[in-house]
A and B are shown apart, each in its own frame.
Chain A
Amino acid sequence: MERSFAKEIESLELGAGETFHGEGILAVTKALLESGVSYVGGYQGAPVSHLLDVMVQARPLMERLGVHVEPCTNEASAAALLGASIMYPVRGAVTWKSIVGTNVAADALSNLASPGVTGGALIVVGEDYGEGASVIQERTHGFAMKSALWLMDPRPDLACIAHCTRKAFELSEASNTPVMMELRIRACHLVGSFTAQDNRAPRVSMREILEKPAPHLYDHLAHPPATFAQEKRKYSERMPAARRFIREQGLNELHEGRESDIGIIVQGGVHNALIRALMELGLADAAGVSEIPILTLNVVYPLVPEEIAAFAEGKRALLVVEEGQPEYIEHEIGSILRRAGIDVALSGKDVLPMAGEYRAEVLVEGVAGFLARHKPALGNRVPARAYADEIAMLKEEARRHLQAPLPPRPPTFCTGCPERPVFAALKLATREIGEVHYSADIGCHAFATFAPFHFGNSILGYGMSLASNAAVASFQAKPPLAVMGDGGFWHNGLLSGVTSRLKNGGDGVLLIMKNGYTSATGTQELISSPDRREKARAGAASATAEDHTIEDALKGVGVQWLRTVHTYRVDEMRKTLIEAFRAPFKGLKVIVAEGECQLERQRRVRPLRARALAAGERVVRTRYGVDEDTCTGDHSCIRLSGCPTLTVKTASDPLKTDPVAHVTNGCLGCGLCGENAHAATLCPSFWQADIVTNPSPFERLRAAMRRFFTLGAVA
């Protein structure tokens, strides 16, 4: 795992009354332990990867309490894990990234929601919406509504998030329904404080074993005819129970205000941004005391009609602040008001944008628009345009000074990433065989869609690249290429892609990046991750060469054309790619591109090297460089690499006007520069330096002789 939470995990042991300081994701974990959870699990993905990392790294503590930890192979298996709470009085929590993870989990979620649960079941979803999001922009809300799962959206404050986490289990049990809690990116990474409670060991757990399995109760199976009754029960019993609980516990927060004839209803997650917008308009102070009454929904589904009606009573107009589309909450509030016969003007997406993140900037305009329409007296008083004008001027000023837009800086492969060479090889291969249809996937390899590679015709989901070009293969002269990581392969690719293609006898080339981990999410382990023994054997070399789980699985399902190539052999990779595309064999051709994730490799190698150096042992360090005398500044090496440490600098030769290539001290000596220079017949400017520290006496003697015989040039 990329990040260590060793220090933070200590704070999971805090007792009642002590103050917890830390990250949102850790606060959730702490609240889970305070809630007496019996099992936790999930599938990694930003922004909740760290939640899973914390759970895994806190295993000793978890085991002491009796909590089972299950890092799942995908979100479907995580959702199915919650099946334990259907028949048993055990609390469980799982986590994944939404919307994509919720899509994958959808089948199990429906089947979980239908019978409902006995023990509290909580799903913490990372709502990857707005700035920094890495997936398609959709809301989890729709899933909650269609399956009748309750959805919490806590105000982004650690005390509120921890409180909602604890209450989620009670809500779940009070209404026999699984509860989802959505945390936006910034809420997950929020660093703050809250007052802790004591951890609770679960009543039923891996330490408190049940002797007997649950009885066979057909009513609790998601199977007809039980499902018909379950559907009715969702709305006749479970939803009313949930609404009762939400009201009694005061989960939603009412903030009174002087302007009592209008009001704002806001999702908890957007509350803080709304307060900032009101501050900008002079309608609230820093402590959040607002002139306009606000109803903050920490539970966004179901709504409590009585609560909405009571808030609307006596008001002329309501503004619903609901991020993303469509406006589910606004629609529901409309129905509630209409049914209750409350005559109040309803505003929302008419003054706020339908799509996109609701930052304070957006909300300033929306609230001003609402006031202008429904309370002009106040609307005329607030500086509605001033802020927008000020910002427009600031941006214009910056544009004037900078004269041109800044070049974008998208994420890219790490220094020494074993995937970069594959794309260099592919770029070289396409020079020979022409362009091919390229189905991209989710994972680090998706960085090849950016400069300098610019690959990819489609992205259809995690592990879906091969499946997404099944039809393309039928009408293309050349077989299409699908690229997928080992993470995607195990998540979905083996079944959705490989076995489907084999079953249908379709043509195609599949390139699997075998780097050993789900690296883009922070190097979590896979079934094919090299184990401790394999890592020890590999030493400084790539440990993924040792593991053959992927190759065995491919052979097992019947792949006939299979090659494994180490990614740093650029020329061999180039030739293998060309061979695959030109192969007379019509069927699935799989190239496993083997090369261990550099982040993980460095975690192993660095301490080994430091120990050796400290002990005065012989250590060889490799780095690359460019002779600026022979570099002509054409930068074709960079267009084949994009390595962060391969950059350009002003030539010290005053005759040269173009900047020359240059390797910075961050170079890990991965070898790509040399491989590319050979494979692409680039230029003779690259050098490899092997620096021997603590050389043997014999080596020193040889060095002295070299110095002598090269007339001192090679000093």
Chain B
Amino acid sequence: MSAAEDTPLRLLICAMGGEGGGVLMNWIVAAARAQGFTVQATSVPGVAQRTGSTSYYIEIAPPESRAVMSLVPMAGRVDVVVASELSEAGRAMEAGFVSPRLTTLIASTNRVLTTAEKAALGEGRFDSARLTEAAQAMARTAHLHDLAAIAEREGTFISATLFGALAASGALPLSREACEAVLGDGRAAEANRRGFAAGWSAVAGEDKAGETARASEPSAPVVAEPPAGTADWPEPLREVAALGHARLVEYQDAAYAALYLERVGRLAAAAAGGDHRHLNAVTEAARRLALWMAYEDIPRVAQLKTRPERFARIREEARMGRGDILHVTEYLRPRAEELADMLPAALGRRIMARVERGRGLPFLGRGVRLRSSGVLGFWLLRSLAAMRRLRRRSLRFARETSAIEEWLDAMHATLPAAPGLAEALAALPRLRKGYSDTLERGCRAYERIFTEVVRPALAYADPEAHAARLRGAIAAALADEEHRALDAFLAGECEARAAPPKLRAETVHVQ
């Protein structure tokens, strides 16, 4: 019995709850019905309506068809897959709905990150490149465009741009006019038409430009002027050093930036004559050193928060209209610890001793809402920013300097003979990030790894053999906030498991 010619067109929409997938489904149904097709559609919104993955399924048969319509998409038997987000397209591929024999895939390349990806302590995002590669390999025809960005540009919703892209793909037995006819009238319809047209041209103009697919990628950053004395350094290191140097001039002064260059220079000398691993280690170390030396204390935060370009950025992000007025409020909660950090070491230690006795300081440790866009708030922050002149004598500076020097010594000790270990060690300061409790936890993890992994490695005859263990320890420290994975790792359990596969290897790449 031949079934193929009567089989309805099968269309699966993969979306997230509350995103307008139902709207798109209804447009397709209405357009097909208006043209006399027999059409049936269904969905499983349920609880998934609250931003979870959800799907809509449509079957379109010729007019007067007596076809028995299915309510459920069948793996390998879907003619068109429309995905409103790239990883949802990936999910459809995982489930076998995208077939190279059959399926036209229309997917928006934007990512709406899942909570698991966002909540990672470092980089937890699924690699988009793998998703697009998979889409191109798995679909008979793949139309991949950032239809979310296009929708935003046109002031409409992704359902409209998806509909336009779908119509342009030729996968529907419907003309452009038939599709546009169901968009209705009124103000929302106008925006929908714009979105539809933009989605249509994204697909229709594919061979020419394909520029829409790249629209959301960040533009190349401005590379800082290379400072004197770095001319003969290898390319990636020179770039990082230039960025670091510029950062530290702005952070403190020229002398501080010179200290940075001197430190990097000594590392580069130690690695001289090495291979790419040596270069990777030094470049990564130069990056981490720049960030570390520009640690975030109260003056730094105040400095960053009062820069004119910062207010310009907020104005842009907040999408100010003409004639709108902006007020900016900062949520600060400085504790006695942070005050002690920025004060001269002796005074800072006395405050910390007081804190350790369980006593705080008046006005500290409670939440402050500071209006940084007001004259008073602005100048208060500016005065705090000016305190950076005291930074070299401060308690935190002393603490960080000794930790930096200890780390640099370890880098010097490992660089010539154990480049693998040096590469891992260069990435270790990555754990020292965040503020207050988060920073304390990060520093604790750093100290533990330094004491329990790095020092023993240095004392060992073959330090290079410890490189994997150090990498594993860093990954474990980034696996969870409570350091359960790190505890387990350092206790020697599940060494292999402690490194979550999601974490990317820290490779050097300068944008």
**Residues in B neighbouring A403, C-beta threshold 8 A:** 127, 130
A401 touching B68, Cβ below 8 Å: no
Q: How far is the CA of A699 from the CA of B319 in the complex (A)?
A: 19
B51 touching A398, Cβ below 8 Å: no
- Name the interface residues of B407-429: CB closer than 8 Å to any CB of A: none
Report B36-48 CB contacts with A as 1/0, cut-off 8 Å.
0001111111111
A634 touching B442, Cβ below 8 Å: yes
Q: Does B26 contact A (CB under 8 A)?
A: yes
B50 touching A715, Cβ below 8 Å: no
B94 touching A391, Cβ below 8 Å: no
Report A635-661 CB contacts with B as 1/0, cut-off 8 Å.
110110010101110101111111100
Given A287-B68, A703-B325, A411 contacting B51 (CB threshold 8 A) = yes
B332 touching A715, Cβ below 8 Å: no
**Residues in A neighbouring B69, C-beta threshold 8 A:** 157, 192, 272
Q: How far is the CA of A14 from the CA of B251 in the complex (A)?
A: 73
A629 touching B310, Cβ below 8 Å: yes
B7 touching A655, Cβ below 8 Å: no
- Name the interface residues of B58-72: CB closer than 8 Å to any CB of A: 61, 65-72
- Name the interface residues of B87-130: CB closer than 8 Å to any CB of A: 87-88, 90-91, 93-96, 98-99, 112-123, 125-127, 130
**Residues in B neighbouring A463, C-beta threshold 8 A:** none
Shortest C-beta distance, B472 to chain A (Å), equals 18
Given A391-B75, A401-B138, A659 contacting B44 (CB threshold 8 A) = no
Q: Does B452 contact A (CB under 8 A)?
A: no
B291 touching A656, Cβ below 8 Å: yes
Q: Does B235 contact A (CB under 8 A)?
A: no
Given A627-B305, A678-B333, A683-B434, A285 contacting B119 (CB threshold 8 A) = no
A134 touching B46, Cβ below 8 Å: yes
Chain A residue nearest to B111 in the complex (CB) = A647
B375 touching A691, Cβ below 8 Å: no
Tally of contact residues, B, Cβ under 8 A: 136
Given A284-B3, A411-B47, A632-B434, A709 contacting B375 (CB threshold 8 A) = yes
Stretch at the interface among B174-182, B240-248, B271-279, B394-402: B240-248
Given A411-B49, A706-B374, A391 contacting B115 (CB threshold 8 A) = no
Q: Does B367 contact A (CB under 8 A)?
A: yes
**Residues in B neighbouring A710, C-beta threshold 8 A:** 373, 375, 378-379
Q: How far is the CA of A359 from the CA of B70 in the complex (A)?
A: 10
**Residues in B neighbouring A687, C-beta threshold 8 A:** 314, 328-331, 372
Shortest C-beta distance, B478 to chain A (Å), equals 9
Given A403-B130, A625-B317, A713-B307, A634 contacting B68 (CB threshold 8 A) = no
B94 touching A695, Cβ below 8 Å: no
Shortest C-beta distance, A283 to chain B (Å), equals 7
Q: Does A414 contact B (CB under 8 A)?
A: yes
- Name the interface residues of B351-395: CB closer than 8 Å to any CB of A: 367, 369, 372-375, 378-379
Chain A CB within 10 A, most for which of B50, B115, B324: B115
Q: Does A332 contact B (CB under 8 A)?
A: no
Stretch at the interface among A30-38, A81-89, A181-189, A555-563: A181-189
Given A391-B75, A652-B218, A713-B306, A285 contacting B301 (CB threshold 8 A) = no
- Name the interface residues of B303-339: CB closer than 8 Å to any CB of A: 304-308, 310-312, 314-315, 317-321, 323-333, 335
Shortest C-beta distance, A178 to chain B (Å), equals 26
Q: How far is the CA of A715 from the CA of B434 in the complex (A)?
A: 30
A636 touching B41, Cβ below 8 Å: no
Chain B residue nearest to A706 in the complex (CB) = B375
Report B280-305 CB contacts with A as 1/0, cut-off 8 Å.
00000001001100001000110011
Shortest C-beta distance, B446 to chain A (Å), equals 13
- Name the interface residues of A667-710: CB closer than 8 Å to any CB of B: 673-674, 677-684, 686-695, 699-700, 703, 705-706, 709-710
**Residues in B neighbouring A450, C-beta threshold 8 A:** 115
A395 touching B6, Cβ below 8 Å: no
Q: Does B168 contact A (CB under 8 A)?
A: no
Q: Does A343 contact B (CB under 8 A)?
A: no
B71 touching A409, Cβ below 8 Å: no
Q: Does A633 contact B (CB under 8 A)?
A: yes
Chain A CB within 10 A, most for which of B16, B42, B330, B372: B42
B378 CB contact (under 8 Å) in A128, A644, A682, A714: A714
Q: Does B350 contact A (CB under 8 A)?
A: no
Q: Does A502 contact B (CB under 8 A)?
A: no
Report A274-290 CB contacts with B as 1/0, cut-off 8 Å.
01100110111111110
A638 touching B119, Cβ below 8 Å: yes
A688 touching B328, Cβ below 8 Å: yes
**Residues in A neighbouring B71, C-beta threshold 8 A:** 156, 184, 186-187, 190, 272-273
A361 touching B75, Cβ below 8 Å: yes
A647 CB contact (under 8 Å) in B57, B118, B311: B118
Q: Does A59 contact B (CB under 8 A)?
A: no
A677 CB contact (under 8 Å) in B39, B115, B126, B331: B331
A398 touching B115, Cβ below 8 Å: no
Q: Does B134 contact A (CB under 8 A)?
A: yes
Q: How far is the CA of A690 from the CA of B371 in the complex (A)?
A: 11
B134 touching A689, Cβ below 8 Å: no
Q: Does B497 contact A (CB under 8 A)?
A: no
A571 touching B51, Cβ below 8 Å: no
Q: Does B455 contact A (CB under 8 A)?
A: no
- Name the interface residues of B24-39: CB closer than 8 Å to any CB of A: 25-26, 29, 33, 39
**Residues in A neighbouring B369, C-beta threshold 8 A:** 674, 688
B40 CB contact (under 8 Å) in A192, A289, A630: A192
**Residues in A neighbouring B54, C-beta threshold 8 A:** 132
A715 CB contact (under 8 Å) in B134, B218, B315, B335: B315
**Residues in B neighbouring A689, C-beta threshold 8 A:** 314, 317-318, 326-329
Chain A residue nearest to B315 in the complex (CB) = A715
A408 CB contact (under 8 Å) in B66, B114, B120, B333: B114
Q: Does B406 contact A (CB under 8 A)?
A: no
Q: How far is the CA of A633 from the CA of B305 in the complex (A)?
A: 17
Chain A CB within 10 A, most for which of B25, B52, B54, B95: B52
Chain A residue nearest to B378 in the complex (CB) = A710
Chain B residue nearest to A282 in the complex (CB) = B1
Chain B residue nearest to A710 in the complex (CB) = B378
Chain B residue nearest to A275 in the complex (CB) = B68
Chain B residue nearest to A401 in the complex (CB) = B134
**Residues in B neighbouring A399, C-beta threshold 8 A:** 94
A625 CB contact (under 8 Å) in B8, B40, B318: B318
Q: How far is the CA of A412 from the CA of B75 in the complex (A)?
A: 27
B131 touching A402, Cβ below 8 Å: yes
Chain A residue nearest to B436 in the complex (CB) = A681
Q: Does B221 contact A (CB under 8 A)?
A: yes
Q: How far is the CA of A463 from the CA of B99 in the complex (A)?
A: 45
A681 touching B328, Cβ below 8 Å: no
Chain B CB within 10 A, most for which of A444, A632, A644, A690: A632
**Residues in A neighbouring B49, C-beta threshold 8 A:** 411
**Residues in B neighbouring A714, C-beta threshold 8 A:** 311, 326, 328, 372-373, 378
Shortest C-beta distance, B370 to chain A (Å), equals 9
Q: Does A316 contact B (CB under 8 A)?
A: no
Q: How far is the CA of A638 from the CA of B442 in the complex (A)?
A: 17
Q: Does A405 contact B (CB under 8 A)?
A: yes
Q: How far is the CA of A102 from the CA of B51 in the complex (A)?
A: 28
Shortest C-beta distance, A223 to chain B (Å), equals 40
B3 touching A279, Cβ below 8 Å: yes
Given A46-B45, A285-B6, A715-B311, A682 contacting B87 (CB threshold 8 A) = no
Extra 18 A-B pairs, beta carbons < 8 Å, given A273-B71, A632-B435, A642-B118: A132-B44, A156-B71, A190-B41, A191-B29, A286-B8, A360-B74, A414-B51, A635-B119, A639-B119, A654-B511, A655-B291, A673-B331, A689-B328, A690-B327, A691-B321, A692-B324, A710-B373, A710-B375
12 A-B pairs with CB atoms under 8 Å apart are A186-B57, A187-B42, A282-B3, A288-B67, A411-B51, A642-B118, A674-B369, A684-B331, A687-B372, A703-B325, A710-B378, A713-B308
Can you list the 9 inter-chain pairs with the closest CB atoms, starting with the nearest? A132-B44, A678-B367, A411-B52, A401-B134, A286-B6, A288-B68, A632-B433, A634-B434, A411-B50
